[in-house]
Structure 1
């Protein structure tokens, strides 16, 4: 199966990986969350080849994660996170939590503090009904409506 064909699979993990599934895309998003908006600033901060950056920014705009607009000074374009883009923040923080736990032998290189109380930002998995914390051992996947529609279409088609 070709990489692009993965976007057609009825899987809410696989489909986003087609858009987000490389290191440069996540690094561009990390910079966007840090307030970077201009192409040259992304390029300078990341050291990414211009053509690769253009591709990643274009893909993020195409999928509505970033919005390209004219800067306030009117001279340059800039990239801003959309609501859809802001919804990716917990994913970046989950990767950060994992990295702090498993790949930071000298401790976290950066603390992400809560502005109002200086507590640390952490991502936890919890049940949306009872609020209980969960791990992979507590989760049971079951077919949802998107899979059922896909299966019905496949049998007709």
Structure 2
């Protein structure tokens, strides 16, 4: 159901009227976004998430529980039938542009020129083009050409 993650019971929002603040309340810590990143890259099991991230078991348990409670991940029985696995929900998959934008920012600002880093490619092996937000008329948008309209 669209928006279900935003209506978690008894959630104490940092800023209840700000979509950025609410999103950060849900996925704004390092481990949570790395788990989403790895789920997008095919990680499914508790062990695989732990191996890929190096996260402590207790923190991983809490983050997976939170991601499941807020319907960003869902649990299902693995094909082997012996374990549970985690899969992205539609809401979790909707974080792809967020993860992509963070990746592209990191490629520009977190590495020295020429320093090796991983690359995201499409199904044909072509690097994914940079995301550039545009207005309805195609004009590029940035912090200087947009403003927040506050709730009154």
TM range (shorter): 0.7 to 0.9
- Partners of 2:43 and 2:92 in 1: how far apart? 14
- Give 5+ residue unaligned stretches, structure 1: 149-157
SS at match of 1:78: strand
C-alpha distance after superposition, 1:67-96 (max 9, x if no partner): 111111110000000110000011011111
| Residue 112 of structure 2 is aligned to residue 113 of structure 1 | no
Q: CA shift at 1:122, angstroms? A: 2.0
Match among 18, 37, 41 for residue 30 of structure 1? 37
SS at match of 2:71: coil
Partner of 1:139: 146
SS at match of 1:6: coil
**TM-score, reference length from structure 1:** 0.82
Match among 19, 22, 29 for residue 12 of structure 1? 19
Match among 111, 114, 132 for residue 124 of structure 1? 132
- Give 5+ residue unaligned stretches, structure 2: 1-10
Q: Which has more helix, going by share of residues?
A: 1
Partner of 1:153: none
Q: CA shift at 1:16, angstroms? A: 1.0
Partner of 1:155: none
- What do you get for the CA RMSD once the two structures are aligned? 1.7
Greater relative contact order (CA < 8 Å, ≥ 6 in sequence): 2
What is the aligned length? 141
**TM-score, reference length from structure 2:** 0.85
Partner of 2:98: 91
SS at match of 2:144: helix
Structure 1's 117 and 23: CA in aligned 2 closer, same or farther, altered over 3 A?
closer
